[in-house]
């Protein structure tokens, strides 16, 4: 199966936003410039290529050349690798195998663990909500931490859209609109009550 | 003496004037270009470009030419992919667009493996066998002699190299066609008027898309220009297509 562009695009921008927010992580990825890290998910038959560069990470679903290192495992093993403190031992079936430049593979693993990405979210976009949710539960992924990143992300996104692109209405404008909708709904309710009253007089 | 003419949107203009007219269009829209791209395509152009990059198949160390680079939307990921051992040459016929693109890329920290060359796609000023990949995104449509541009691309490509064309094309189904017509001739010029204060340029855009060769014809043109193993995919029902061919 080939990963849909939309999912990869979303994952790539989430990763780069997180990396961009962290001044210590970015240089570490940048150090891996010119390397290619392949991740292969065996049970889902998915491959994803990570190309670090000075501004973050580029994700590709296909790569024509030779990857420097290959991390291979089941979806659960790979997820476990990116969340857990100790990636060497997987709680679940199977392990993540590294072939090629193993040092690079381990370094990349450690880097992935240090960024807060909701991998489950992207996995669920591929395989549906339930299984991914169960995986997430099993991993007891620290919700708090995750929530914090999401909040920052959302805030950044909202600010970006509002001020830089200026395509979203501002909060007061939105509230005003919602108020008007509420008003309309009340009016409608009243109208309906009146119609019912009229109907009962006719009958 | 009869002067030769060519299409400029739905109008016929003397061939030698088309370049100047196209230049006026891009001069006029340059500073609002990115915002309009998002609005016009409802953000879809990002996905189309992403797919083009995936299909293009550039790798670490490649030397890539991005023609009609504009604000550098394709050049950016290309530079990130080829890395410090590779090179991306950005070229555009329009100096205003090229420097806009350069500023934008430099602002984002993309330096070192990118060069900028003002050039006409019809006469690429590079030695033969210079590039591993060539991309042209939403640019071919504006070129007066498309076959000449494709031939020029084939010349500067290395043997085994791949050229990729991302361009508006022709929707495949009738309902989509109808919807698309309303959108491009009613809504698009209106948005152009409001956002870029210029409805004419966006009318030109819609017309030039209709005048552009359809999927099969463009693929034949690629073959005529000397490319082999040519193929294409439709995106968003054929509103956009990605064509490619190899120099064998
Ligand atoms: C719609 S923009 C595309 C920009 C960018 N590639 C993108 O996808 O966003 C088209 C560009 O083609 C350039 N152009 C028009 N005619 C050209 C020609 N004959 N040779 C090279 N570039 C040309 C214009 O100056 C303009 O920057």
pLDDT in tens, B107-130: 999 999 999 999 999 999 999 999
Residue-wise pLDDT tens digits, B200-210: 877 888 888 89
| Per-residue pLDDT tens digits for A40-80 | 988 778 899 999 998 899 999 889 999 999 999 887 778 77
Token digits for A140?
């007891």
- CB distance B70 to ligand 1 below 6 Å: yes
Q: What average pLDDT does range A2-10 have in this prediction? A: 77
**CB of B32 less than 8 A from some CB of A:** no
Closest-CA distance of chain A to residue B226, Å:
23
Backbone angles phi, psi at B163, to 5 degrees: -110, 140
Please report the sign of the dihedral spanned by the C-alpha atoms of residue B221, residue B225, residue B226, residue B227.
Answer: negative
Q: Which of A152-166, A183-197, B171-185, B221-235 has the lowest mean pLDDT?
A: A152-166
Query: Do residues B27 and B99 touch, judged by C-beta distance below 8 A?
Result: no
Q: Where residue A1 falls among pLDDT bands split at 50, 70, 90?
A: low
Of B43 and B73, which is predicted with more confidence?
B73
- At residue A138, the pLDDT reads 46
Angle, helices A75-83/A119-127, rounded to nearest 10 degrees? 160
Q: Is residue A103 scored above 60 in pLDDT?
A: yes
- Region A168-173: mean pLDDT is 59
Which pLDDT band, with edges at 50, 70 and 90, does B100 fall under? very high
Judge whether A37 and A66 are in contact, CB under 8 Å: no
d(CA B83, CA B223): 31
Residue corresponding to tokens 């008007």: A180
Tokens of A15: 């990763």
**Residue B170 pLDDT class (50, 70, 90 cuts):** very high
Partners of B157 in beta bridges: B131
Lateral strand order in the sheet of B131-137: B114-118, B87-92, B63-67, B131-137, B157-168, B240-246, B228-235
Identify the pLDDT of residue A189: 73
Question: Do residues B204 and B25 touch, judged by C-beta distance below 8 A?
Answer: yes
B3 pLDDT higher than 80: no
User: What is the rounded end-to-end Cα distance, in angstroms, of chain A?
Assistant: 63
Determine what percent of chain B is predicted with pLDDT higher than 90: 64
Given 3-state DSSP classes, what are the helix, strand and coil percentages for chain A, each rounded to the nearest 5? 60, 15, 30
pLDDT classification of A164: cutoffs 50, 70, 90: very low
pLDDT at residue A143 is higher than 50: no
Residue numbers in A near B59 (CB within 8 A): 36, 63-65
Is the CB of residue B153 less than 8 Å from the CB of residue B67? yes
CA count, 13 A, side-chain hemisphere, A86: 5
pLDDT at residue number B198: 77
pLDDT, residue B113, reads 97
Whether A106 contacts A98, CB under 8 Å: yes
Pick among A10, A34, A56, A68 to test the B interface (most B CBs inside 10 A): A34
Task: Tell which atom from ligand 1 comes closest to the C-alpha of B144.
Answer: 19
Q: What is the rounded CA–CA span in Å between residue B149 and residue B224?
A: 12
Quick one: pLDDT at residue B154? 98
Q: How far apart are CA A152 and CA A31, in angstroms?
A: 26
A34/B84 touch (CB, cutoff 8 Å), yes or no: yes
Q: Could A165 and B108 be called an inter-chain contact, meaning their C-beta atoms sit closer than 8 Å?
A: no
Facing B81 at nearest CB: one of A8, A51, A167: A51
Could you tell me if A33 lies within 8 Å of chain B, comparing CB atoms? yes
In 3-state terms, what secondary structure has residue A24?
A: coil
Q: Ligand 1 pocket: which of B52, B68, B202 to mutate (most atoms <8 Å of CB)?
A: B68
**Cα of B75 to ligand 1 centre, how many Å?**
12
Integer Cα distance of B166 and B141 in angstroms:
10
d(CA B143, CA B244): 17
Residue A140's pLDDT is 46
- Ligand 1 midpoint to CA B121 (Å): 9
- Lowest pLDDT segment from A75-79, A121-125, A173-177, B224-228: A173-177
Torsion sign across C-alpha atoms B153, B158, B160, B164: negative
Those residues whose C-beta lies under 8 Å from the C-beta of residue A147, and which sit 6 or more positions away, are: none
Report the pLDDT value the prediction gives residue A141, as an integer from 0 to 100.
45
Mean local confidence (pLDDT), B67-92: 97
pLDDT tens, position by position, A113-141? 888 777 777 776 666 554 555 555 544 44
- The minimum CA-CA distance between B20 and chain A, rounded to whole Å, is 31
Read off φ and ψ for residue A63, nearest 5 degrees: -140, 125
Q: Which of A168-177, B138-147, B193-202 has the highest mean pLDDT?
A: B138-147
More confident residue, B102 or A121: B102
Ligand 1 closest atom vs CA B37: 9
Positions of E strands within A31-138: 37-41, 46-53, 56-60, 69-73, 97-100
pLDDT of residue A52: 96
8 Å CB contact between A49 and A148? no
The whole-number average pLDDT for the span A190-195 is: 73
Summary mean pLDDT of chain B: 90
CB proximity list for A165: less than 8 A, separation 6 or greater: B35, B38
pLDDT for position B188: 80
Q: Which positions in chain A touch B51 (Cβ < 8 Å)? A: 5
């Amino acid at each position: 199966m080939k990963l849909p562009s939309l999912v990869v695009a979303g994952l790539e921008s989430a990763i780069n936003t997180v990396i961009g927010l962290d001044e210590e992580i970015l240089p570490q990825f940048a150090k891996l410039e010119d390397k290619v890290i392949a991740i292969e998910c065996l049970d889902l038959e998915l491959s994803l290529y990570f190309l670090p560069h000075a501004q973050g990470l580029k994700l590709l679903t296909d790569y024509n050349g030779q990857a420097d290192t290959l991390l291979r495992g089941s979806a659960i093993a790979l997820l476990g690798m990116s969340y857990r403190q100790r990636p060497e031992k997987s709680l679940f079936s199977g392990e993540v195998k590294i072939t090629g430049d193993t040092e690079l593979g381990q370094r990349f693993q450690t880097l992935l663990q240090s960024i807060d990405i909701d991998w489950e979210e992207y996995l669920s976009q591929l395989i549906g909500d339930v299984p991914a949710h169960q995986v997430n539960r099993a991993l007891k992924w620290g919700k708090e931490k995750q929530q914090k990143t999401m909040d920052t992300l959302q805030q950044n996104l909202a600010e970006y859209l509002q001020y830089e692109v200026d395509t979203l209405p501002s909060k007061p404008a939105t509230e005003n609109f919602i108020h008007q909708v509420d008003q309309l709904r009340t009016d409608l309710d009243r109208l309906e009550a009146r119609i019912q009253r009229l109907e009962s007089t006719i009958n | 003496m009869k002067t030769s003419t060519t299409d400029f949107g739905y109008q016929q203009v003397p061939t030698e004037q088309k370049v100047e007219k196209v230049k006026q269009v891009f001069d006029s829209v340059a500073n609002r270009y990115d915002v309009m791209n998002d609005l016009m395509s409802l953000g879809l152009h990002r996905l189309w470009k992403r797919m083009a990059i995936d299909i293009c198949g550039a790798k670490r160390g490649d030397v890539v030419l991005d023609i009609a680079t504009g604000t550098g939307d394709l050049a950016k990921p290309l530079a990130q992919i080829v890395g410090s051992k590779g090179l991306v040459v950005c070229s555009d016929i329009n100096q205003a667009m090229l420097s806009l693109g350069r500023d934008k890329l430099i602002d984002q920290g993309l330096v070192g493996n990118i060069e900028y060359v003002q050039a006409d796609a019809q006469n690429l000023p590079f030695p033969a066998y210079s590039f591993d990949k060539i991309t042209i995104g939403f640019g071919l449509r504006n070129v007066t002699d498309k076959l000449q541009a494709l031939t020029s691309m084939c010349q500067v490509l290395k043997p085994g190299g791949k050229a990729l064309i991302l361009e508006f094309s022709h929707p495949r189904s009738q309902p989509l066609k109808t919807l698309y017509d309303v959108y491009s001739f009613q809504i698009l010029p209106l948005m152009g008027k409001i956002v870029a204060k210029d409805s004419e340029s966006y009318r030109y855009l819609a017309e030039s898309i209709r005048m552009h060769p359809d999927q099969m014809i463009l693929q034949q043109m690629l073959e005529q220009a000397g490319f082999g193993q040519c193929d294409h995919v439709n995106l968003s029902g054929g509103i956009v297509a990605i064509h490619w061919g190899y120099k064998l």
